[in-house]
Structure 1
């Protein structure tokens, strides 16, 4: 029987992964977003329902990243005759630094791909997802959208031309994530980054990225931890996150392998060797944030190797 309705989940992501600004990212099991998509008899795209966004996202299909990306895909495959209705259910906070816009866009594109019976590899959708990311934050970087779409841990080796590589990772590596409820807009967080850096800092960063990749390939969690140091971006963005260095000290003393900013923040994350340690890290970070008057959300997850999935 032909399917005319589909419900899809796409995961949140941690981008940059401390030292890998704009080139590294991985997907997590939670949180994420859901899209319900229905075929219509009349051509065109409508958005009939959005939940969980506190009224922040547009219903206009020409201004919503999900519908805009889906339209780019339909135009590309010569199916502008297709009619669609979209429901977007935000299951993750907007502006969290966890790839909120990319999760929604990936869910929408994965939904239309499956509705139309497109059996190609999901990675073929990457250029269309990046269109949505460009609309959302002014820059079509792939370190959020690629892991959300492909799952796992990814390296963006090149943007011109685009080349994305899936990396191995230790299966017993767990991620503790805390989202402090403070506002750090992605566009503004990018604008404060320095345009020029010292050569010695660049050399340190190259070594750390290489060490992190090596640790992933060799299953060496200690090497991964030692390599996750950012001397370029984190010192600037840390100023936007309340008590960032205190939070890092709490995490490391609680058994974290590493600690850093997720995307442009304000979410922070830590790697741990087991879920119990990850939960303890989150509890202590949340307790500190509560003590300084900041509410927060927390998540514990292994790395999500699946990416988006059909729910119904």
Structure 2
């Protein structure tokens, strides 16, 4: 085991876009902001505790076994046989709840990663995946890595099997940018899942598989035209769009402003556009924001390249001892 090297560590876990239109539950990517921060520190009292939570308006529990960050961190400590260590967590929520940006996943990832860093990096990032997954699952009962995977590892992540947690990172084209717009309304994941059909026509399945394959090939080959032709969801988006006011107007205006494609981030209500270049991404973000503002819906715009780092220690450079 790597020796302990610090008494306190602060980490940042980024928001993520799940599904990416045609990759329902099997594809996701990390963005630059927003994200959650967690501080882990040694304390004299044995055991894991959560000392403080900010930014949650009192919604989140301090009990370790009822908090996504706490569940992930405790699961890790149990695995390592280190539950007697005196460790305190501070959770700083800087993401909206029910936003479709992986808020629960960010807390779970940050909890596991912060404790792993504090005790000296006994596990790699990829080895932390099941512990972070357990934390997220404690919040919504679902077991899918399209938020946790990219939040933990960074970049674009494809999940071959959620049950086996068989995941792979994909290259992000050098000039690929994301514009994410979060309208101020809350959509519960359960509601967004319940609205989906139980049976899907074979024709739609075939089209969705083709789009997913095309998107993966476009990313690998840096073929922006193929990416654009492939970012289409014929299964979830047609049902979920009714939960987001003026969704199709926002989509039309995003594509008119140059977006390669536009869809719903996770269960929504946040929406995302993939774009070639920063200038286009910022223009698309402004257009989508304008549509929601006219509803009227308050909204936030986040523009960034695909985040290659994922969760990391605040203040450390990209090459600073971050095994994956």
Q: Does 1:168 align with 2:174?
A: no
Q: Normalization by structure 2: what TM-score?
A: 0.94
Q: 2:260 aligns with which of 251, 257, 261?
A: 257
Q: 2:125 aligns with which of 122, 130, 133?
A: 122
Q: 2:149 aligns with which of 132, 146, 149?
A: 146
Q: Which runs of 5+ in 1 are unaligned?
A: none
Query: Mean Cα displacement is larger for which, 44-53 or 246-255?
Result: 44-53
Residue of structure 2 equivalent to 1:243: 246
Report the secondary structure of 2:64's partner residue.
coil
Residue of structure 2 equivalent to 1:45: 48
Q: 1:64 aligns with which of 62, 67, 71?
A: 67
Q: Which runs of 5+ in 2 are unaligned?
A: 316-324
Deviating above 4 A after TM superposition, structure 1's stretches of 4 or more consecutive aligned residues are none
Hey, what's the Cα distance between the residues in 1 that align with 2:175 and 2:5?
40
Residue of structure 2 equivalent to 1:12: 15
Report the secondary structure of 1:203's partner residue.
helix
Q: 1:82 aligns with which of 66, 80, 85?
A: 85
**Kept after mapping to 2: 8 A contact 1:260/1:270:** yes
Q: Matches of residues 129-278 of structure 1 in structure 2 within 5 Å? A: 129-278=132-281
Report the secondary structure of 2:251's partner residue.
helix
Hey, what's the Cα distance between the residues in 1 that align with 2:78 and 2:174?
39
Hey, what's the Cα distance between the residues in 2 that align with 1:197 and 1:114?
44
Report the secondary structure of 1:204's partner residue.
helix
Report the secondary structure of 2:248's partner residue.
helix
What displacement does 1:118 show?
2.0
Q: CA RMSD for the aligned pairs?
A: 1.2
What displacement does 1:136 show?
1.3
What displacement does 1:210 show?
0.5
Q: State the Cα deviation string for residues 4-52 of structure 1 (Å, max 9, x = none).
A: 1110001110000000000000011111110011111222222121111
Residue of structure 1 equivalent to 2:320: none
Q: Normalization by structure 1: what TM-score?
A: 0.97
What displacement does 1:119 show?
4.5
**Kept after mapping to 2: 8 A contact 1:133/1:141:** no
What displacement does 1:121 show?
2.0
Hey, what's the Cα distance between the residues in 2 that align with 1:8 and 1:217?
30
Residue of structure 1 equivalent to 2:116: 113
Hey, what's the Cα distance between the residues in 1 that align with 2:277 and 2:164?
38
**Kept after mapping to 2: 8 A contact 1:58/1:64:** yes
Hey, what's the Cα distance between the residues in 2 that align with 1:2 and 1:23?
36
Report the secondary structure of 1:80's partner residue.
coil
Residue of structure 2 equivalent to 1:34: 37
**Kept after mapping to 1: 8 A contact 2:25/2:146:** yes
Hey, what's the Cα distance between the residues in 1 that align with 2:81 and 2:300?
42
Residue of structure 2 equivalent to 1:23: 26
Q: 1:92 aligns with which of 87, 91, 95?
A: 95
Q: How many residues align?
A: 312
